[in-house]
Amino acid sequence: MLACLASNAQESAGDSVMQHKGKSRLSIGGYGEANFSRNYFSDHVSRYSQPEEHKNDPSHGRFDIPHAVIYLGYDFGQGWTFGTEVEFEHGGTGIAYEKEDEEGGEWEQETEKGGEVELEQFWIQKSFAPWANIRAGHIVVPVGLNNAHHEPLSFFTVYRPEGENTILPSTWHQTGVSFWGRSGDFRYEAQFLAGLNADNFTNTGWIHKGHKSPLEFDVANKYGVSFRLDNYSVPGLRIGLSGYYGESIGNSYPRNANGVDAQYKGVVAIGAIDFTYKGHNWIVRGQADYGYLGDADQLKYVYNRLNSKSPYKHSAFVSKNAYAVGIEAGYDVFSQVQSMRQKNQQLYLFGRYETYNPYASNTKNVAYDYTAVQRMAVGFNYHPLRQIVIKGEYSKRFLKSLFNDEPSVNIGIAYEGFFL
């Protein structure tokens, strides 16, 4: 029988691989999603540069498998454990054609590290005590609500919350070392990581792709640190603080000893606060993230972004600042129906609002006004079992008045749990 992960909405994604039950040393589990979307707006490459021409374009639909994940964990004994998470994104095999809106709609065949099959966790851990654990390998970077709690039963919307998913890596995973633990009402974690790669930063996604590498290794000319602190002192409530600091310019291969790459650092600094409340048949979640990128006006001139033969071809400017703020709340209406309570079924009716902008500062007075978004969503989450959810929502992006708003209908089904 599947063990219930989502009964505790505050379970850390980095800990969820380790779910050893009873005397079993082996853990096997995972999660997966299958979604359908109908978007009632244009998908033309010039929908933002020529919005009037595409105001009445036809709708378009998509079937998608955003994530299919397998967890494996093993307890060696004497405090030594192992965990891994393999993720298949969008049902792909590693190489796909994509239309790059940032480059005039040019078709490109893109390969990311691991392609569409990614190793999101792969670590060995030594536990000295509940308050002192060292984890080394490929780990989740728990900055923001979405990265720390990205499993499909940890958010109401069909797709992951859009604001954080736009400006930050999602799921953010890198190779490094982590020290974490629990003491009293607190869980804490500090990480040492390879730096992000500024060659991957974009105007529409800020640092979203910064943790990826097209190479067979992660370049570590520069380094970064992250931290997270969660407090559970109020029953049903978790409040978290998280952040990141590191350099990003010059963290590429081959390392350029001259020019912008050598002169500037590209410091990335992020601060985030988030919370989850679960009680009285309500679930409420919220987050606010703010990011700063030093030397943003120099990124367009970094060598690898100018070299037509490199895998980095983003010619647009990148913003000095980015932000994402969101809140969602859902009420279990089946809590008022005795027959549904007895069957442990739940039906949450929810609403979500968020605002975000990956290009919040006009670099060198160049504006991309379509990046400023407000989004609302209303819908339902039906749990026939606690490990399975059927989701439906109506959502709408509100852009600046120059552009067309973007409504859509999304339907999805997902599971999350452990088999062993």
**Whether 282 contacts 329, CB under 8 Å:** yes
User: For position 260, what pLDDT does the model report?
Assistant: 83
pLDDT > 70 in the chain, percent: 89
> Structural domain boundaries of the chain?
108-117+126-394
Q: Can you tell me whether residue 186 is helix, strand or coil?
A: strand
User: For position 215, what pLDDT does the model report?
Assistant: 82
**Whether 222 contacts 195, CB under 8 Å:** yes
Q: Can you tell me whether residue 254 is helix, strand or coil?
A: coil
Whole-number Å distance between alpha carbons of 52 and 402: 9
pTM: 0.90
List beta partners, residue 32: 68, 415
User: For position 378, what pLDDT does the model report?
Assistant: 98
Mean per-residue pLDDT for 263-286?
97
The length of the chain, given as a count of residues? 420
User: Is residue 114's pLDDT more than 60?
Assistant: no
Mean per-residue pLDDT for 280-289?
98
202-220: pLDDT as tens digits:
999 999 999 988 888 889 9
Alpha-helical (H) ranges within 255-353 are 260-263, 303-306, 338-342
User: For position 8, what pLDDT does the model report?
Assistant: 45
If one counts every other C-beta atom within 10 angstroms of the C-beta of residue 297, the result is 17
CATH class for domain 108-117+126-394? mainly beta
- Quote the Cα angle for 198-199-204, to 5°: 80
Whole-number Å distance between alpha carbons of 206 and 268: 11
**Whether 414 contacts 153, CB under 8 Å:** yes
User: Is residue 327's pLDDT more than 90?
Assistant: yes
Whole-number Å distance between alpha carbons of 132 and 154: 26
Find the farthest-apart pair of alpha carbons in the chain and give their distance in angstroms, rounded: 71
